[in-house]
Amino acid sequence: MLLRHTTADVTERTALTINPAKTCQPIGAMYAALGIHACLPHSHGSQGCCSYHRSTLTRHYKEPVMAGTSSFTEGSSVFGGQANLLQAIANIFDIYDPDVIAVHTTCLSETIGDDLVQIIAKAREEGSIPPGKMVIHTNTPSYAGSHVTGFSSMVKSMVGYFSEPSDIRSRTINIIPGWVEPSDMREIKRLVGLLGAESIMFPDTSDVLDAPQTGKHVFYPKGGVTMPALRRTGESAVTLALGPTASEAAAKALDVKCGVPCETMTLPIGLQATDRFIDAVRLHSGHGVPVAIEEERGRLIDIMTDMGQYLQGKRVALWGDPDQLVALSEFLVDLDMKPVYVVTGTPGKVFERRMERALQGRVPEAKVQQGATADMFLMHQWIKQEPVDLLIGNTYGKYIARDEDIPFVRHGFPILDRIGHSYFPTVGYTGAIRLLEKFLDVFLDRRDRDDPEERFELVM
């Protein structure tokens, strides 16, 4: 057994997190920053942070992930990291020539109390920031929130640094996609395009973290939201914040700063959440929903009606980020499945209320938990008490899947051992079809493996 020390006996823990269902803020800030065109993320802390974040993002995307570090030593920890960051900013513009450097802090620089606003002002004063270039920052203390918080904070900082208040009100819709994959961002843009709406998506990692092999390493790939587009977000008609945990802070900041009204929505994963998203874009764009989208929806419903027998009543355990878990749970309930165990390490009581709505009163036995000790160890203990039919979550679930012999669909971050998430979306109706295909594949493969010979089915 891989996790041989995990037993069904749940004891209360107050101090020890085991097999966490979250990681720390800075990696989220780094991921968000990669969604700005020609932006080099920069980690203000020890080298290890930057190395770990780059490694994890690289393993997830199998793509280059470039970022700088302030390379703190004991000296900088005592005297502050100003000298290191000033050097870093000057060197990065000289050597790597980005349009934007997006600095995020770490638990080290936060504990020291480095004032990034002042340091960036000093860099500008010293002439290290070339004309037209920007250095932005966000505070990402690793000892609060989670990786999703870091993502949210960096997106909010994009508003703070770039969005310009304007007297003009365009018809453009700002879309903050939340922490989703490049494939999802591409899909959301496609759907919005089909609905005839103009949009600015930020951040946007499509064409950044799914770059083609051309024989050349394009240091700043063609994707990412540009600085001019970010500035124009202040004149848009509305902001759609997809997933409150990852996107609402930025949308609200944009409302406060530029008076762009915002609407926070569930991530458009699954049927109903996609319905709501499409409807919202329809209302804001003033165009009707094209037949093409209705047909996509129809194909999804077709599979739900045709293949429901293999899904109905199945018990599911999920772990990951709040926005994904809420959307996935709602979809599972719509499939007559039962999300019975749902954990996220990302703290926040609001998650429990959102989950209650997502479960629509249909899974009274569901156990939902958030925060430090809402970890994969606890979820595994619950599974030991009463098993599930399906696991949905990041790669770390494979240890439970193998030990307990439970079908497993990878979703979320990080996925370290499979490809596909960068290329095939799980948002929208086609994304939901992909999820259904994955669920059905693991369930039916399991039947093909386990059914007695006399009951082995050719047609399913």
Q: Residue 36 Cβ, how far from other proteins at the closest point, in Å?
A: 18
If the CB atoms of residues 95 and 283 are measured against other proteins, the closer one turns out to be 95
Q: Residue 259 Cβ, how far from other proteins at the closest point, in Å?
A: 33
Q: Residue 16 Cβ, how far from other proteins at the closest point, in Å?
A: 4
If the CB atoms of residues 48 and 308 are measured against other proteins, the closer one turns out to be 48
Report the distance separating Cα 359 and Cα 64, nearest Å.
39
How many Å separate Cα 423 from the centre of its chain?
15
If the CB atoms of residues 396 and 424 are measured against other proteins, the closer one turns out to be 396
If the CB atoms of residues 54 and 186 are measured against other proteins, the closer one turns out to be 54
Report the distance separating Cα 318 and Cα 320, nearest Å.
7
Of 80, 52, 78, whose CA–CA distance to 65 is shortest? 52
Q: Residue 265 Cβ, how far from other proteins at the closest point, in Å?
A: 28
Q: Residue 87 Cβ, how far from other proteins at the closest point, in Å?
A: 5
Q: Is the peptide bond before 203 cis (omega within 30 degrees of 0)?
A: yes
Report the distance separating Cα 62 and Cα 310, nearest Å.
33
Residues 6+ apart with CB under 8 A from 180: 188, 242, 243, 267, 425, 427
If the CB atoms of residues 91 and 118 are measured against other proteins, the closer one turns out to be 91
If the CB atoms of residues 216 and 455 are measured against other proteins, the closer one turns out to be 216
Q: Residue 268 Cβ, how far from other proteins at the closest point, in Å?
A: 28
If the CB atoms of residues 77 and 264 are measured against other proteins, the closer one turns out to be 77
Give start and end residues of each alpha helix (H) in 360-459: 376-385, 398-404, 428-450
For residue 272 the two structure tokens come to 């109903």
If the CB atoms of residues 20 and 425 are measured against other proteins, the closer one turns out to be 20
Q: Residue 72 Cβ, how far from other proteins at the closest point, in Å?
A: 5
DSSP label at residue 19: S
If the CB atoms of residues 209 and 337 are measured against other proteins, the closer one turns out to be 209
Report the distance separating Cα 318 and Cα 192, nearest Å.
29
Decide: helix, strand or coil at residue 456.
coil
**CB-CB contact of 45 with 69 (8 Å):** yes
Report the distance separating Cα 20 and Cα 330, nearest Å.
24
**CB-CB contact of 319 with 344 (8 Å):** yes
Nearest 5°: phi and psi at 393?
170, -170
Report the distance separating Cα 428 and Cα 300, nearest Å.
10
Of 453, 430, 362, 399, whose CA–CA distance to 184 is shortest? 430
Q: Residue 14 Cβ, how far from other proteins at the closest point, in Å?
A: 6
Nearest 5°: phi and psi at 411?
-155, 140
Q: Residue 208 Cβ, how far from other proteins at the closest point, in Å?
A: 13
